[in-house]
Amino acid sequence: MHIVVCVKQVPDTANVRINPETNTLMREGVESIMNPFDEYALEEALKLKDAHGARVTVITMGPPQADVILRDAMARGADDAVLLTDRAVAGADTLATSYVLSLAIKKLNEKPDLVLFGKQAIDGDTAQVGPGVSEFLDYPLVTYVKSLSVKDGVFTVETLMDEGTDVIEGRLPAVMTVVKEASTPRFGSLAGWIDAKDAAIPAWGAKDVQADIAQCGLDGSPTKVVKIFAPPTKSGGRKVDGREKPAEVVDEIMQLLKEKGVR
């Protein structure tokens, strides 16, 4: 079995701040990390590898220094990695990204049985690239996977729904997006890092995957960012305190509600 995991390098949004004057991200002091949801996708792939001896390939599209997340994945147990890096693909929206990623997957020397994504990236939060790639590859799609098993080319998954769980069975190949409820990602070992740090990772450009340049990067992206702004900070509500005198608190709240026009 060959499993491809698509991963993305993202700014650690836990620490991201927006410059209130320019409305741009303040990058100073913000780390780049592997998109946390992609770690769960990778973990599902590695679990299948542990159970069935699959081959796991990780792919990312990003600047040359995004290789570090591929090495991280290899330190944890991924077998191969591909870095898609090219100025021509920079500034891509989810459509152009899905297009180029799917071409890279098609170019791999072994056709994948399973292509895994995190449910979404924490920077854009679109959750569209996984579904986009499934369309370009013409593979069936299952989203929000929280458990996954494979037997004789048939997968059984549980997906996280608003109310309860769906159990879906189907035949590989397939594209899936994975939620954090799936499992706890493993750590890369030091021995794993030693090999991963010096692993040769091929870097492919748009031409290497025979992409139509018009469909790549900013030019191939119908989505346009018109404006970025930080939502106004909410001023905290008013607190009516007085645990000792609940009756007075009730009176005060009633008064406030009346002032607001509540009848």
Partner 1 sequence: MATTKTTKPIQTDILCVGAGVASLSTALALLRKLKAGGCEKLPRVMVIDKGRNVGSHVLSGAVIDMSGFDGLLTADEIKKIPVEARVNGKRESFHMLFGESKSMKIPWMPPMMQAHGYPVGSLTKLTQYLAGLCEKEGARVYTGFAAVELLEDDKGRVVGARTGEKGIDHEGKPKSNHLPSEAVYAKAVVLGEGACGILTEKLIKRKELEGDREQAYAIGVKEVVEVPADEKRVGEIAHTFGYPADMQTYGGGFIYHVSATQVMICYAYALDYADPASDPHALFRKFKAHPTVAEHIKGGKSVAYGAKVIPEGGCYSVPKVVADGALIVGDGAGLVDTLRIKGIHLAAMSGRAAADTLADCWKNDDFSLKALQPYAERLRATEGWKQLRRVRNVRAPFSTHLTFGVACAGAAWATFGAFPFWQVPMEADYKALKVLPGGRMPEPEALEATPTSPDRLTDVFMSGTIHDEDQPCHLKILDRKKCAECIKRFGAPCQRFCPAEVYRLEEGRIHVDFSNCLHCKTCQIKDPYQNIEWTFPQGGDGPRYTRM
Question: Rounded to the nearest whole angstrom, what is the least distance from the CB of residue 145 to partner 1 in the complex?
Answer: 17
What's the distance, CA 5 to chain centroid?
A: 10
33 versus 115: smaller Cβ distance to partner 1: 33
Question: Rounded to the nearest whole angstrom, what is the least distance from the CB of residue 25 to partner 1 in the complex?
Answer: 15
Question: Rounded to the nearest whole angstrom, what is the least distance from the CB of residue 188 to partner 1 in the complex?
Answer: 8
> DSSP code of 254?
H
Q: How far apart (Å, rounded) are the C-alpha atoms in residues 43 and 78?
A: 10
Angle at CA of residue 108, ends 104 and 109, nearest 5° = 160
15 versus 23: smaller Cβ distance to partner 1: 15
111 versus 197: smaller Cβ distance to partner 1: 197
28 versus 169: smaller Cβ distance to partner 1: 28
Question: Rounded to the nearest whole angstrom, what is the least distance from the CB of residue 55 to partner 1 in the complex?
Answer: 22
Which residue's entry shows tokens 């949004």?
13
29 versus 164: smaller Cβ distance to partner 1: 29
Question: Rounded to the nearest whole angstrom, what is the least distance from the CB of residue 151 to partner 1 in the complex?
Answer: 21
Applying CB under 8 A, which residues contact partner 1?
15, 28-31, 183-187, 189-191, 193-194, 197-198
Quick check: bond before 20 cis, omega within 30? Answer: no
Question: Rounded to the nearest whole angstrom, what is the least distance from the CB of residue 43 to partner 1 in the complex?
Answer: 8
Residue 261 in tokens: 């026009």
Q: Which DSSP helix (H) or strand (E) runs through 249?
A: helix 246-259
40 versus 139: smaller Cβ distance to partner 1: 40
Residue 205 in tokens: 């450009």
